[in-house]
Chains A and B, each alone.
Chain A
Amino acid sequence: MKLRTFLVLSGLSFVLFVAVNLISWQLPLAIPQSAAAGKLVWQHHNCISCHTLFGNGGYVGEDLTHIVAKYSSSELVTYLVNPPVMRPNKHTLHPALSEPDAEQLVTYLEYVRTLPTLGWPPQPEKAGDYR
């Protein structure tokens, strides 16, 4: 294969790749401002190191993609503002958020719930006790 062929093929593949990505990541619903603010809270507190979102992230805590389906938003806000001891620790508490931050963050998680994840997270065979 020639140098030119290699360069042309690589360049074209890359440009096409970027183009289909730009089309593919269009949001079904524009992200509301409060959810966008919640995303910043999410990033600021580094939740991703311990939790996965869309299955990507750390494996210390539960995946949070559809967490709002399991807890009401006020339950979640309470959890984050007055966090419990984080298992398996005996003393260390779960990271805490201020109330406004927690509310924005939960708005973000509610928004994430609306994204089309093609059936992920998988539905388990038997409904388990969630806690």
Chain B
Amino acid sequence: MKLLRSLALAARPVQPEPHFRAQQFSRIYCLTAAGLFALQAIVAMLGALDLVIPDLPSPIPFEYGRAIHLGLAEMWPLIATMGMVYFFVTAELKREIYSPRLARWQFWLALAFTLSIYGTLALRIGNGREFLDGLPVLYLGLCSTLAVAVYNLLRTLLASGKQVTPAAVTMTVGMVFLLLLLLPNTIHYSNPIADEATKFWVVHLWEEMAFELTSAGFIAAFFITSGIAVRSQVEKWLYLEASFAVAAGLYSTGHHYYWIGFPAIWLAIGSLVSLLQVIPVGMLVHMTYKGLKAAKLTSKREKLTLWLVLSSLFYHVTGASLLGLLITVPWVNLYMHGTYVTSGHAHLALFGSLGFVVLAGCYYILSRGSEPSSRGYKAAVVAVVLLNVGLVIMGSALIVAGTLQSYLWRFLGNSFMQVSAVINPYLILRVLGGSLFALGDLLLFGVLFGAWRQTKAHPVGKP
């Protein structure tokens, strides 16, 4: 507690900005997401230790621990995104959300369903689908919260009429897709091919399409509202970038369809369209680069936000796009698929590019109306460094482990368990990287919590 307080102390209040009730609620979404992120690191460390310490006693068996970890990987970005969309859509449209009450209900529903999923999984009640483990009815519940969000956002956009901005539309369309893609995952498939495919509508399309839209919207709105970029400049590109993200995102799902029983044409669709996926990433980088060159970084708060956004861009280009492209080549994928290389890519891409941008948004929202003290700022920088160093160690260790598996097991044909023994040192290295990451995670949570406390005491611009 003392540490937390000292992180936030001596924060200077700054210029008030227009304030809406939806923005007040978005804070609780962001704080909850940061809390779930901290929880994820703890669960993950236990799982990673379980893999390298034989006979480790654990109240939750590895298989359910992994399911909780994967569920958290989707859910904290989702909850943060819900809050951030409310924040930035109201900021963009300069009007209150259609129904602040619905926005609040939506939060409690989302939290209840999320916690129910983890609670039941901890009791070993699930349905055995990777990434989407948990009773289907709970996922239906999550769909209902997304439906509330979509309704609320659409009513707000409609009320704005001609004033709607591309950033607001892009974020709303992102939310619509989150809902449409999750819905087919609330039913049971006895067809294993359909089961695998619809799973990737969340695993791939949430991350590489829907969240891409919401993130592009945040970054655009952040640049515009903080005066880093000129509105007309950003808006010229945004719909084009969003259209690319949708079309390329959808058909690049093909790179998950190579070996699950889909026709061979998907080898071509998957690999060719994945190339196009790099275009929206390039445009995002371009937009940020131009913004940065023009930016005059005076406030520590905006600097910190930018550090987080920049971390995200780094992994977006490396761990997501470059590594993603490499493993998309069917001949490479044939050998690397189903090895720790996938896990390396998953961590670098999912946390690196999505997680960092979501945390940037959470920090920006929670710290609004304050400036970090120099101690708080230093702590936050240490947290960002720890997260980055930890992630790079973790990702590299997994990539090496996976490459060894591809060569020794897949290519040369040694037995799986023999090779598992060979890669064990790299899984230990992953635990070490994971520890740094987890430290950074807890420290960043402290910073976010501190920012929340600080600004809770001095609500800015409250009407």
Contacts and interface: CB of A to CB of B under 8 A. Distances in A.
A22 to B, nearest CB: 8
B67 A46 contact: yes
B410 A122 contact: yes
B350 to A, nearest CB: 15
A49 B173 contact: no
A1 B240 contact: yes
B258 A120 contact: yes
Of B180, B412, B416, most buried by chain A (CB within 10 Å of CB) is B416
Interface string B327-339: 0000000110111
Contacts of B261: 25, 27, 54, 115-117
Given A43-B127, A47-B128, A24 B133 contact: no
Interface stretch (A4-12, A71-79, A96-104): A4-12
Nearest to A52: B338
B263 interface: yes
Contacts of B410: 121-122, 124
Given A42-B128, A43-B128, A46-B126, A14 B63 contact: no
Contacts of A111: 192
B55 A89 contact: yes
B415 interface: yes
Interface residues of B, number: 69
Given A46-B128, A128-B413, A25 B262 contact: yes
Contact of A112 (B190, B192, B335, B412): B192
Given A54-B196, A122-B410, A91 B416 contact: no
A110 interface: no
A88 B416 contact: no
Interface string B294-335: 000000000000000000000000000000000000000011
Chain A binding site: helix, strand, loop or mixed by DSSP? loop
A10 B260 contact: no
Interface in B236-277: 239-240, 242-243, 246-247, 250-251, 253, 256-264, 266-267
A47 B261 CA distance: 20
B12 interface: no
Interface in A1-53: 1-3, 5-7, 9-10, 13-14, 17, 21, 24-25, 27, 31, 36, 39, 42-50, 52-53
A117 B337 CA distance: 13
Nearest to A47: B128
Contacts of A9: 243, 246-247
Of B253, B343, B409, most buried by chain A (CB within 10 Å of CB) is B409
Contacts of B424: 88
B116 interface: no
B334 A120 contact: yes
B83 interface: no
Contacts of B258: 118, 120
A61 interface: yes
B457 interface: no
Nearest to B173: A10
Nearest to A119: B334
B250 A92 contact: no
Given A31-B190, A46-B67, A115-B193, A125 B412 contact: yes
B239 A1 contact: yes
A125 B411 contact: yes
Contacts of A87: 417, 420
Of A24, A31, A125, A128, most buried by chain B (CB within 10 Å of CB) is A24
Given A27-B193, A49-B66, A6 B242 contact: yes
Given A17-B251, A120-B334, A122-B335, A10 B257 contact: no
B340 interface: yes
Contacts of B339: 59
A87 B420 CA distance: 10
Contacts of A130: 415
A5 B261 CA distance: 34
A6 B192 CA distance: 34
Interface of B: 51, 54-55, 62-64, 66-67, 126-130, 133, 164, 166, 169, 173, 177, 180, 190-197, 199, 239-240, 242-243, 246-247, 250-251, 253, 256-264, 266-267, 334-335, 337-340, 343, 405, 409-417, 420-421, 424
The 6 closest A-B pairs by CB, nearest first: A124-B413, A43-B128, A55-B338, A49-B63, A120-B259, A128-B413
Given A7-B173, A13-B246, A46-B133, 9 more contacts: A1-B239, A25-B193, A44-B127, A46-B64, A54-B261, A87-B417, A120-B334, A122-B410, A124-B410
